[in-house]
Amino acid sequence: MKEISITSSFIVFDSLNELSKDVQDLMNQAIEIRKKAYAPYSQFRVGAALLLDNGKIVLGSNQENAAYPSGLCAERTAIFYAGSMYPEAKILKIAITAASDTNQTKAPIPPCGSCRQSIAEYEIKQDTPIEIYFMGEIGEVYKSTSLKNLLPFMFDKKFL
């Protein structure tokens, strides 16, 4: 038997003001689209903004459904739209923000497992790391330089 150790590291920004101008703009677009989320059941709104290598920005918000789990997370809404509309474009950066209708969300909210797997698919497909920035409603913003940092044991096509 042996033990292995895997480490993840993140850059932590105290606030949006510490981000570069382009990432601030991306996160502000994620904040605006978050407000348009359809979240009558969880009352938890998520917004995502993707910057593509063609300069396009693709937005997504979570969309819930009474027939749970038929809804879709903000990240996957944006990623799948980008994949269908701009299939040759690479995703350079993703900004994610989450807020609750019932209490203030201060801790950075990372993508869920399903979203991580979906982001992994595109990161592997494009063979280029995707920068991921995530935050709550206010407070710190975490930056991961790659999805692999968030999901070190990624499942991909080489296992099929």
- Domain ranges in the chain are 11-155
Hey, which residues are catalytic here? 75
- How sure is the predictor about 157, in pLDDT bands with cuts at 50, 70 and 90? confident
Residue 30 pLDDT exceeds 90? yes
Rounded to 5 degrees, what angle do the CA atoms 64, 85, 30 make?
50
Residue 62: per-residue pLDDT = 97
Residue 47 near residue 74 (C-beta atoms within 8 A): yes
Q: Say which CATH topology domain 11-155 has.
A: Cytidine Deaminase; domain 2 (3.40.140)
Query: Considering the entire predicted model, what is its pTM?
Result: 0.94
- How sure is the predictor about 84, in pLDDT bands with cuts at 50, 70 and 90? very high
- Residue 121 marked ligand-binding: no
Token pair belonging to 49: 């903004």
- Residue 67 marked ligand-binding: yes
- Could you tell me where the DSSP H helices lie in 98-154? 113-126, 147-150
- Residue 63 marked ligand-binding: yes
